[in-house]
Structure 1
């Protein structure tokens, strides 16, 4: 399959042989034996192409395609015996991508990927992939929040890499770029007063408020409740399948009395994060926090309550730390009594020391 796009970079003329191609540095080169037959050497692959009437036609990749075969195909194109096809549009490639590559994604990751592309990539939908330039992509996340911009960048870099791999476009336009914003590890530890203000302010925020309280009560990840099935809720446990977990492993936690009311309010997919998050910060007066900070609060409080670190790790589904993979498998059920006691101890602390004897289950 051949693709055409506008010529961009000048080429250096050399005589193509297998030996010279194997030792070329990154850059673009023209074959001294066949004018307009060229090779682009990137970090991961070497691509044969031709330049004809100001247009570049991608032929194939070395060494999957031999030099002799590439030169033969180049002659056909340059003699005008083959009319190269344009690449498919962004929207057409995206449809294939959803039906194939995204099938293996975890529910929340799948939801976020589709949300980001659908929300920000409208201007690219009708464009042929081989006409999309780097600036077309970087313009999409200008003016967005740093976290949102970084997530959009990651989603699009993966999508364009898939397009390049499946020969839907000649190259990934953002393969050489870094994330728009530098990410630093957060060390924000919420205080008891801040947790109290957030909890009380969440009570009028419907499903979002229920998710907030479940995160405070359980220390789980936002994504575990962003795409949630009530089938995960058993008689006295909550059981996430590996497909719903960041580490790909099944995760089981006790279902305590304090959690029962709110967990039944969690929808299958929660999509409106931004507006209620802003409302929660406005009402509570606590503006410098993320939902992930609740995990750090739970972990720190468990340590304050003298809960063994391995019990806390089992609750939080930490894959790093003191437990081996085999231990984690046994921990799913063998540690449940210890985790249940730890959660009860933590919930009692929340009621007596943080929420001032308010009922934890709203």
Structure 2
């Protein structure tokens, strides 16, 4: 039976326990007790054994919530995690020292369930450990959280919201592990107002950005160009490893544990310029990471914000030189590296790409690929993605030539791969 809320409500109890499968979500069952109590369960196999996990009672856990939770647990199971084992270890006492408890949290939860766990760890290392690192977790009070967030807010308002979210999630996790009775973050509000970003670079701005990018001899410039060619996330490009690249097939396959949605690997067709960039970096490789840190940490290189500022400064310098060093110049309006991804999406739509193909390029499981349709829609749009990214490459090359004519009188590089 393919459940609807109406059909679930209509199911009546009988003298025996019933377990009715949901045709829309494999493994999800509705258990109906003779008493009339209804609950959701997930049936699965782990280590060769059949297991059952109780998700929650209906209607406290709605049909949509049950399907979502079952889908997330199915992904975790495929990655080797057993929900029953996780549940059994839920009440394991954590180290009292905050720094040690955070390390357990990162290893046991963040690395397993999130893509950007390294960003979370860096936030703790930079902002939280200096304040609370050696304190027992049960001594952190709400006033401590407020002071921490206010301190971060003075220097970086938006980052204070991110730190608050990370701290909140950590303490909620501590409560779930029975290490704390309550979270000290409860009731603490974010200080910075955030607006939904709509910024993208128009063709005129791209025509200034592209030739300047070509003039910069740095790995950051190469990474930024790959972002422009692929529309992928910053974390995906900077975390790229060589075993994800297939030069013969001209594809980059991002494993699902490195994608934000963590539901399917992300197949990224590589255009000729993108391949040229990667071949050059391959010849210079010193690590399995394409963009490794130079400090030997084994992590991807850092300093993206500094590189972005250097890029902005180079654009201003190129405009000044084009004007003979005199007069006013008009640099790009404030923008962020993540705006490149929105720029690619907007550009593809303007070039006539179908919505579902643009979503495929972005690896978005939303819109036409959302909900239950996304569970069964497994087409990766590889050919269609390659076609629209080829159109995008040609468009960028045209803008590059226009920018070179404006900045350098047509004496520029004439190709993004240089």
TM-score between the two structures when normalised by the length of structure 1: 0.69
Asked whether the equivalents of residues 237 and 253 of structure 1 are also in contact (C-alpha less than 8 Å), the reply is yes
Deviation at 1:137, TM superposition (A): 2.5
Q: Secondary structure at the match of 1:239?
A: strand
2:374 aligned residue (313, 317, 325): 325
251, 261, 267: which is aligned to 1:237? Answer: 251
| Larger Rg over CA atoms | 1
CA contact (8 A) 1:302 1:346 kept: yes
Q: Tell me the distance in 2 between the aligned counterparts of 1:327 and 1:344.
A: 28
Structure 1 gaps, min length 5: 1-86
Aligned-pair CA distance for 1:112: 0.3
Question: Retained in 1: the 8 A contact 2:106–2:117?
Answer: no
The answer to whether the 8 A contact 2:211-2:400 is kept is no
Tell me the number of residue pairs that the alignment of Structure 1 and Structure 2 aligns: 273
Give the deviation of 1:138 after TM superposition. Answer: 3.2
Indicate which of 182, 188, 206 corresponds to 1:195. 206
Q: Structure 2: any 5+ residue segments left out of the alignment? A: 1-94, 282-289, 293-299, 316-330, 405-413
CA offsets 1:45-90 (integer angstroms, 9 cap, x no match): xxxxxxxxxxxxxxxxxxxxxxxxxxxxxxxxxxxxxxxxxx8121
Match of 1:218 in 2: 230
Equivalent of 1:255, from 265, 270, 293?
A: 270
Q: Alpha-carbon deviation of 1:287? A: 4.8
Q: Aligned pair in 2 of structure 1 residues 303, 146: CA closer, same or farther (>3 Å)? A: same
Aligned to 2:126: 119
Contact 2:99 2:133 in 1 (8 A): yes
Quick one: distance in 2 between partners of 1:303 and 1:127?
52
User: Are residues 294 and 352 of structure 1, via their aligned partners in 2, closer, same or farther at CA, if it must alter by over 3 Å?
Assistant: same
Map 1:1-362 → 2, pairs under 5 A: 88-107=96-115, 109-121=116-128, 122-140=130-148, 141-203=152-214, 204=216, 206-235=218-247, 236-248=250-262, 249-263=264-278, 265=281, 266-268=290-292, 269-284=300-315, 285-323=331-369, 324-325=373-374, 328-330=377-379, 332=380, 335-356=381-402, 358-362=414-418
User: Is the partner of 2:155 in helix, strand or coil?
Assistant: coil
CA distance in 2, matches of 1:92, 1:307: 49
- Change in CA separation of 1:348 and 1:99 when aligned onto 2, cut-off 3 Å: closer
Q: Partners of 1:111 and 1:238 in 2: how far apart?
A: 22
Once the two structures are TM-superposed, the CA of residue 159 in structure 1 deviates from its matched residue by 0.9
Distance 1:262 1:178, change over 3 A: farther
Residues 166-223 of structure 1: per-residue CA shift (max 9 Å, x gap): 2333321112223222221111231222223333333426222122111111111112
CA 126–205 in structure 1, closer or farther in 2 if over 3 Å, else same: farther
Cα pair 1:311 1:339 within 8 Å, conserved: yes
- CA 1:314–1:328 in 2, change beyond 3 Å: closer, same or farther? farther
Q: Distance in 2 between matches of 1:177 and 1:295?
A: 32
Give the drift of 1:257. Answer: 0.8
Aligned counterparts of 2:217 and 2:180: Cα–Cα separation in 1? 45
1:226 deviation in Å?
A: 2.9
CA distance in 1, matches of 2:211, 2:146: 40
Give how far 1:348 is off.
0.8
| Equivalent-residue separation in structure 2 for 1:327 and 1:355 (angstroms) | 43
CA distance in 2, matches of 1:253, 1:88: 44
Q: Deviations over 1:117-161 (max 9, x none)?
A: 111121211112222122322333232323322221111111111
Provide the secondary structure at the position in 2 that maps to 1:142: helix
